[in-house]
């Protein structure tokens, strides 16, 4: 029987290579599982000995650490999934100790999006080095116009981007493929990046086909993109906090506010569940009333009757 560390390694390998999880997601799962294994080791227990009362003791420990509900829920999901894998892999007769553990109720916060003036600030070149400024401008345009996750943008390859068609092939969560689109005003920027900027960034001794390159010629990281966005936000007339995910929120909110249907936005965002997309529908009551009165046939008839009277 494999030990705890080997079992965790096997599960992470399964998520990465069989389920198509991103490296960032796998790292989060590993942190959650390592914390649980460390707690288990302190009690000199084994994975096979864990039962529901013991896990509830672990939950009490997490509460003592003042972990928030979302963090605890993520750990429950991580460990429950791990035990499903572990029991099946080792052909054990034990029941998943988390089978009766429910997630904690949390209030879903509305996603934060950016005002147009803030978006314009992010699009302005503030970098001293021209090449990096133009590359960063391309990154901002694509995040805003496509709604891609930052990890998806980092993983883009040259052959994924079709400049003539204005489309990009994206490999999202669970290794699922989708197509997203960008506007004509981004084509000129991307052409300049590919023809002039990228060759200067490319490491000729170790070439790569990743679309966006760091200043040392390697694949860009999510952290680097977070840093460049915040640097531009800090240089705005009124500095503000920003994250790559806020551009994704802004993309979705703008589409819905301009009458895009929820199913289309779901497809463009790569959401597996429509309920995930619904958090973006925080339009004003006034807007909802306008749509209702313009679209509902009974509402129209009532208005006509009232006007006649």
By three-state DSSP, how is residue 93 classified? Answer: coil
CA R_g for the chain: 24
Label residue 291 by pLDDT band (50, 70, 90).
low
Label residue 98 by pLDDT band (50, 70, 90).
very high
The answer to whether domain 4-89 and domain 116-245 are alike in fold is no
Label residue 172 by pLDDT band (50, 70, 90).
confident
Per the annotation, the verdict on 271 as an active-site residue is: yes
pLDDT of residue 202: 94
Give the model confidence (pLDDT) of 194-213 as tens digits. Answer: 999 999 999 999 999 999 99
- Fold designation for 4-89: DNA polymerase; domain 1 (1.10.150)
Cβ atoms < 10 Å from Cβ of 282: 12
Q: From its phi and psi, is residue 147 left (phi > 0), alpha (psi between -120 and 50) or beta?
A: left
pLDDT of 25 above 50: yes
Task: Give the C-alpha separation, 167 to 183, whole Å.
Answer: 9
pLDDT of 304 above 60: no
Task: Give the C-alpha separation, 256 to 60, whole Å.
Answer: 41
Per the annotation, the verdict on 280 as an active-site residue is: yes
User: Quick one: average pLDDT of 43-60?
Assistant: 93
pLDDT of residue 256: 80
Cβ atoms < 10 Å from Cβ of 166: 16
CA dihedral 196, 202, 204, 206 (to 10 degrees): -160
Sign of the dihedral through C-alpha 126, 129, 130, 132: negative
Per the annotation, the verdict on 245 as an active-site residue is: yes
CA dihedral 25, 28, 30, 33 (to 10 degrees): -130
* Helix-then-strand count for the chain, H and E: 15, 3
Residue 87 dihedral angles phi and psi, to the nearest 5°:
-65, -45
Provide the residue ranges of all domains of the chain, joining segments of one domain with +.
4-89, 116-245
CB 65 within 8 A of CB 75: no
Among 282, 273, 274, residue whose Cα is nearest residue 249: 282
- pTM exceeds cut of 0.75: no
Label residue 296 by pLDDT band (50, 70, 90).
low
Burial of 83 (0-12, 13-18, 19+ CB in 10 A): buried
The residue from 11, 21, 210, 280 that is catalytic is 280
Report which of residues 8 and 285 the model is more confident about: 8
Domain 116-245 sits in CATH 1.10.443.10: yes
The residue from 30, 173, 178, 218 that is catalytic is 173
pLDDT of residue 285: 41
User: Quick one: average pLDDT of 48-61?
Assistant: 94
The residue from 149, 198, 232, 249 that is catalytic is 149
Label residue 292 by pLDDT band (50, 70, 90).
low
Question: 270: which 2 tokens?
Answer: 């790569």
CB 147 within 8 A of CB 155: no
Per the annotation, the verdict on 149 as an active-site residue is: yes
Task: Give the C-alpha separation, 147 to 265, whole Å.
Answer: 9
Give the model confidence (pLDDT) of 241-256 as tens digits. Answer: 999 999 998 898 888 8
pLDDT of 175 above 90: no
CA dihedral 65, 70, 75, 77 (to 10 degrees): 160
The residue from 80, 178, 218, 245 that is catalytic is 245
């Amino acid at each position: 029987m494999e030990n705890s560390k080997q079992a965790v390694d096997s599960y992470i390998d399964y998520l990465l290579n069989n389920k198509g999880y991103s490296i960032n997601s796998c790292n989060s799962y590993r942190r959650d599982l390592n914390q649980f294994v460390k707690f288990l080791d302190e009690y000199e227990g084994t994975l096979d000995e864990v039962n529901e009362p013991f896990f509830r003791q672990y939950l009490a420990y997490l509460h003592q650490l003042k972990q928030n509900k979302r963090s605890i829920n993520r750990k429950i999901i991580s460990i429950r999934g791990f035990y499903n894998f572990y029991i099946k892999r080792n052909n054990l007769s034990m029941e998943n100790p988390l089978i009766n553990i429910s997630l904690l109720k949390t209030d879903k916060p509305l996603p934060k999006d950016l005002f147009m003036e803030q978006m314009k600030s992010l699009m302005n070149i503030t970098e001293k080095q021209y090449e990096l400024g133009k590359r960063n401008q391309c990154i901002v345009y694509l995040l805003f116009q496509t709604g891609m996750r930052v990890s998806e943008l980092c993983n883009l390859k040259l052959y994924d981007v079709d400049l003539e068609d204005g489309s990009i092939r994206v490999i999202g969560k669970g290794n699922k493929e989708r197509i997203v689109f960008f506007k004509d005003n981004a084509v000129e920027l991307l052409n300049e990046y590919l023809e002039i900027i990228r060759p200067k960034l490319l490491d000729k001794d170790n070439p790569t086909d990743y679309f966006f390159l760091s200043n040392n010629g390697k694949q860009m990281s999510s952290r680097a993109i977070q840093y460049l966005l915040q640097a531009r936000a800090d240089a705005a007339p009124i500095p503000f906090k920003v994250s790559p995910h806020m551009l994704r929120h802004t993309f979705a909110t703008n589409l819905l506010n301009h009458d895009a249907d929820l199913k289309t936005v779901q497809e463009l965002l790569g959401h597996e569940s429509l309920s995930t997309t619904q958090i973006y529908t925080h339009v004003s009551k006034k807007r909802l009333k306008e749509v209702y009165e313009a679209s509902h046939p009974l509402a129209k008839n009532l208005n006509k009757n009232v006007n006649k009277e």
